[in-house]
Structure 1
Amino acid sequence: MTKETLPAFIQALLQPAVYSHPVDSVKLVQTHISYVLLAGDFVYKFKKPVNFGFLDFSDLEKRHFYCEQELTLNRRLCPEIYLDLVKINLDNDQFSLDGSGETVEYGIKMVRMPEEGMMGNMIKAGKLQEHHLDNIVDTLVPFYKNAATGEDINQFGTADAVGVNVVENFEQTKAFVDQGALTLQQFNDISSYAEKVLAQTERFTKRIVGDHIRDCHGDLHSVNICLTGGHAYIYDCIEFNERFRFHDVACDVAFLAMDLDYYGLTDFSQLFIERFCQAAKDPGLVDMLDFYKCYRAYVRGKIGLFTAADPVVDAGVREECLRNAAKYFELAHRYAQDGE
C-alpha cells in the first residue's frame, strides 16, 4: 500500500507536527488488521475496517468498542504501557488527535518500548538468556492465577470447544495442500493426530477440573514480549474474539514454547516449560503440550499461507511467507509424530 492509498487520517498522522509531544519522524507499521504509528516516545494503533468473520472491525462503533477492550485486557499485564483511548477528529478538512470537530476514528496510545529489548530481536541477535525466561515465568504465573475463570470460561476448555478451533484450521487449509508449503502427508498426519487427541475427552476434562482454563493472553509469542529492565512486558493480547483467549493455560504457554522451537532454541523451550510448570505447580500441563504446540504451529503456518495468497503482496514477501509456512508445518508435523 502506497502512501497515497493510505486512509487520509493515517497520511495526516505521518506528519510529526500533528503530535503534541516531540516527534522527529513517524514510522508506519502495518499488519493485516492494524495501522501502527511509531512517533517519538509513543505508539498509536488503529484498527483497519475489516471483517474476517472471526474478527469484525467493520464500523466505527465496533472499532471504538474493541479499542476499549484492548486497553482493558492488556492492562492486566502492562498497565504502564497501555495509556489511553485516543480520537481522530476532523474539523474544516483538518485531522487532529483529540482535537475539535467530528470524531472519525478511535485508537489507542501506548508507551514505545525499546527495540533492542524486543524478544524477537534478542533471539535474532543471540542475546536471549535463561534469566529472561525467569522474567517471563515470573510475569505469567501470577497473571494466570488471577485471570478470570468460571463456568462460562471453562466451557471453552472442553474437547468439543477446542475442536472448533482446531478443525477450523484444517478446513481453511485444504485448498493449499500440495501447493508448495503443506504436503498431503503432513495434512493427513496432523489432522489424524488432532482427531485422536480430541477423542480423548478425559484429558480435557482433567484440565477443567484442575482449574486450568482461564481468560488468557491468546497470542503469547516473542513478537509480543519486550524484555527490559529485568522485567518481561507481555502485550497485544487477543481482544477481538473470546474463543481465541478463553482456553487452557497450556495452550497459551505452548505458543511461546513452539516459538522458541521454531527458532532452534529447543533447550530454552524445554527450560521455559520446566520452570513454568514448577512455579505454577502444574505438572499436568506437559500432557497437553505436544497437542497445543502442534495447534499453534499449524495456525502460524496457516497465517503464512493466507498472507502469501494476498494479491497485494509482492513476490519477495510471498516467497518468504511460504518458506516460513513450510517450516511451521514441518514443526507441527514433528509435534504430531512425537505426540503419537
Structure 2
Amino acid sequence: MAAPAAQRQVAEFLAGITGQGVVETHISLVFLGEGEVLKLKKAVDLGFLDFTALETRARLIAHEQALNAPNAPGLYLGAVPVTRGAGGLALGGEGEVLDWVLRMRRLPAQAFLDAHGALDWVLLDRMADAVVELHARAPRRAGDGAMDATLAGNRAAGLAAGLPEAEVRAWHKEALAAHEALRPWLAQRAAAGFLRRCHGDLHLGNICLLDGAPHAFDALEFDEALATIDVGYDLAFLLMDLDQRQGRAAANRVMNRHLGRTGDVALVRGLPLWLSLRAFIRAHVAGKRGQDGVPLLRAARAYLSARPAPRLVAVGGLQGTGKSWLARRIAPLLGAAPGAVVLRSDETRKRLAGVPPETRLPEGAYTAEANAAVFVELQAGAHEALTAGHSVILDAMFQRQAEREAVAALHPDFTGLWLTAPMEVLRARVAGRRGDASDATPAILEAAAARDPGPLDWHILDATHDSAPDAMKALDLPPPPSP
C-alpha cells in the first residue's frame, strides 16, 4: 500500500514536470502540461471505491486506458509508472514503482461540452451518433442492472450530503415504486441485449471534441456493476444534463436522433426513473461539494411526477412544407421530459435500410412494399411510446386517406396538422436541401403534388412562413419560444 506521504511526493514531482496547474476531483489529480496531462488516482477510500492500494490504482489506470481509447482515439496516450531510482523520481524510469499515471492529450477548455456554450443542432446530432456507436460496441452482459443497490446507495449519499431528509426519503420511496413497476420490463430488456457494459458516467463534462467531432471519454472504470446498465439509463445521464444545462429542446433533439438511429423507442418507458436518478446523483454530488443540490433534487422528483397525459400529433403535407422542422420545434413542449418522441418516415426508412439518415437511397428503396413497411414501423413505434405514457409526433406525407385514418385511430387524443405552401416555395426548399434524411427531388415533389390526397379533416396550416404559432393554437399550447 502506498503511504500518503509517498503520493504527496509523487504529486509534487508531477506538478513540477508539467508546470501548468492541477485540477482536483474527489478521486483524481490531473496535472496540466503544455501538450498533455497526467492523471493520478488519489489513494483514498470513499466507501464506494477504495484506491488506497497501489496494485488497485495500477490495475484501474490500465483499465481506464483500455476502456476509453477506442471511444476517444488519440486522447489516451498510455499508462506510465512514476519510479524512484538512483537519480530520484522519474516518469517511466528504473527503480521502485511509487505510482501510476495516465498520459492524455491536453485539450482546450472549450473542447469539453459542459464548457462549450450553446450546442447547435449539428453538434447535438453528432453527439447522439457518438452515443449510438459507443453502445453498439458495448459488450452485452447478464444480470439485472443492480438498480436496487443503486437506489439505496444514492439515498444514503443524499442524506450524507445534507440534502433535506424528508425530500430525500420521499424521492427514494417514489423511485422504488417506479422501479418495482418497471422490474419485469427491465428484465425483458436485459434478456434482449440492452444490458451492456456502458460508459456509466455519460454527462456533458465527459464528452469532448477531438478534431471537431464529439467523443465520450472518462468512462466509469472502478466498478463494473455500476457500469453494467441498460443503454437507456446510460443515455439518460446525457439527456438529463442537456435538459438542465442547455434546455429541453437540446435534450429532445438528442433523444430523437438516438431513437431514429436505433429504433429503440421502448426505452422511453424507463426515462422517468432514469432521468430522476441521474438528477438525484447530481444533487448529492453538488451537496457534497458545498453547493446547493436542492434544485436538482426537486428536478429529480419532477421527472418522476410530472407526467402529462400522452398525446399523438401527426404532421403531414408535401415535401418542403417544413414537417420535420415543425415537429422538432413543438416536440420539446409536448408531454413528459424531455418532450415528445418524433417518428419521421424518412429516418425510419433509412434505419430499416441499415444506413445513417443522411445517406441517399436508390429508387428501389421506395417501392410500395417498402413504403408499407415504413408505415407499419411508424405505427408500431407510436403505439410503443404512447403505451409507455409518452407523447408522439408522427412526421410523414400522409397523402393517403387510409393512412390518416389509421394514425388517428392510434390514440384518442389525436391532432392532425396538414402543412401547405405555394409550389414555387416548395421547389426552392427541396432544391436547396443539404444533409437531410429526405431523398426528395423537385421531380419527386411534382409527382406528389399531382396526386389528390382526398378529403382533409386535419388542421390546415400555411407553411409559407413560420407555421409553429398556428400549430400551437391547434394544439391548445402556449406560443412557442423563439427558435
Q: TM-score scaled to structure 1, two decimals?
A: 0.83
- Deviation of 1:87 after TM superposition, in Å, equals 0.9
Q: Find 1:168's aligned residue among 149, 153, 164.
A: 153
- Deviation of 1:12 after TM superposition, in Å, equals 1.6
Q: Find 1:330's aligned residue among 280, 298, 307.
A: 298
Aligned to 1:273: 255
Amino acid aligned to 2:188: K
- Structure 2 SS opposite 1:155: coil
- Structure 2 SS opposite 1:69: helix
- Structure 1 SS opposite 2:144: helix
Aligned to 1:146: 137
Asked if structure 2 preserves the Cα contact closer than 8 Å seen for 1:294 and 1:332, the reply is yes
* Structure 2 counterparts to residues 1-340 of structure 1, below 5 A: 7-15=8-16, 18=17, 25-92=19-86, 94-123=88-117, 126=118, 128-149=119-140, 153-157=141-145, 161-174=146-159, 181-182=163-164, 184=166, 186-200=167-181, 201-307=183-289, 318=290, 321=291, 323=292, 325-339=293-307
Asked if structure 1 preserves the Cα contact closer than 8 Å seen for 2:144 and 2:186, the reply is no
Measured against aligned partners, the alpha-carbon deviations of 1:122-152 in whole angstroms (never above 9, x if no partner) come to 13xx3x1111111112212122112101xxx
**Structure 1 residues 263, 87: closer, same or farther in 2, change over 3 A?**
same
- Deviation of 1:175 after TM superposition, in Å, equals 5.4
- Deviation of 1:188 after TM superposition, in Å, equals 3.9
- Deviation of 1:246 after TM superposition, in Å, equals 0.4
Structure 1: distance between partners of 2:113 and 2:25: 18
Structure 2: distance between partners of 1:187 and 1:9: 40
Asked if structure 2 preserves the Cα contact closer than 8 Å seen for 1:182 and 1:329, the reply is no
Structure 2: distance between partners of 1:122 and 1:5: 37
Measured against aligned partners, the alpha-carbon deviations of 1:234-288 in whole angstroms (never above 9, x if no partner) come to 1100000011110001111100111112225111011111111111211011111
**Structure 1 residues 105, 6: closer, same or farther in 2, change over 3 A?**
closer
Measured against aligned partners, the alpha-carbon deviations of 1:78-108 in whole angstroms (never above 9, x if no partner) come to 1321111111111247211112221111111
Structure 2: distance between partners of 1:36 and 1:175: 26
Measured against aligned partners, the alpha-carbon deviations of 1:164-195 in whole angstroms (never above 9, x if no partner) come to 1012211333456xx5x4362x3243222212
Asked if structure 2 preserves the Cα contact closer than 8 Å seen for 1:291 and 1:339, the reply is no
Amino acid aligned to 1:30: E
Amino acid aligned to 1:306: K
Asked if structure 2 preserves the Cα contact closer than 8 Å seen for 1:67 and 1:107, the reply is yes
Choose between structure 1 and 2 for higher RCO, CA contacts under 8 A separated by at least 6 residues. 1
Structure 2: distance between partners of 1:92 and 1:332: 55
- Deviation of 1:5 after TM superposition, in Å, equals 11
Structure 2 unaligned regions, length at least 5:
309-483
Structure 2: distance between partners of 1:170 and 1:147: 29
Asked if structure 2 preserves the Cα contact closer than 8 Å seen for 1:51 and 1:58, the reply is yes
Structure 1: distance between partners of 2:83 and 2:7: 17
Aligned sequence identity (%): 27
Amino acid aligned to 2:124: L
Asked if structure 2 preserves the Cα contact closer than 8 Å seen for 1:154 and 1:213, the reply is yes
Structure 2: distance between partners of 1:76 and 1:330: 37
How many residues were matched structurally?
303
- Deviation of 1:233 after TM superposition, in Å, equals 1.9
Aligned to 1:313: none
Aligned to 1:312: none
After superposition, the CA RMSD in angstroms is 2.1
Structure 2: distance between partners of 1:6 and 1:205: 44
Aligned to 2:317: none
Amino acid aligned to 1:164: A
Structure 1: distance between partners of 2:282 and 2:61: 24
**Structure 1 residues 138, 173: closer, same or farther in 2, change over 3 A?**
closer
Amino acid aligned to 2:285: I
- Deviation of 1:41 after TM superposition, in Å, equals 0.8
Structure 2: distance between partners of 1:85 and 1:5: 19
Aligned to 2:463: none
Structure 1: distance between partners of 2:248 and 2:114: 15
Higher helix share: 1
**Structure 1 residues 113, 100: closer, same or farther in 2, change over 3 A?**
same
Structure 1: distance between partners of 2:124 and 2:281: 24
Asked if structure 2 preserves the Cα contact closer than 8 Å seen for 1:254 and 1:296, the reply is yes
Structure 2: distance between partners of 1:58 and 1:6: 10
Structure 1: distance between partners of 2:82 and 2:46: 24
Asked if structure 2 preserves the Cα contact closer than 8 Å seen for 1:189 and 1:336, the reply is no
**Structure 1 residues 116, 210: closer, same or farther in 2, change over 3 A?**
same
Structure 1 unaligned regions, length at least 5:
308-317
Structure 2: distance between partners of 1:68 and 1:170: 31
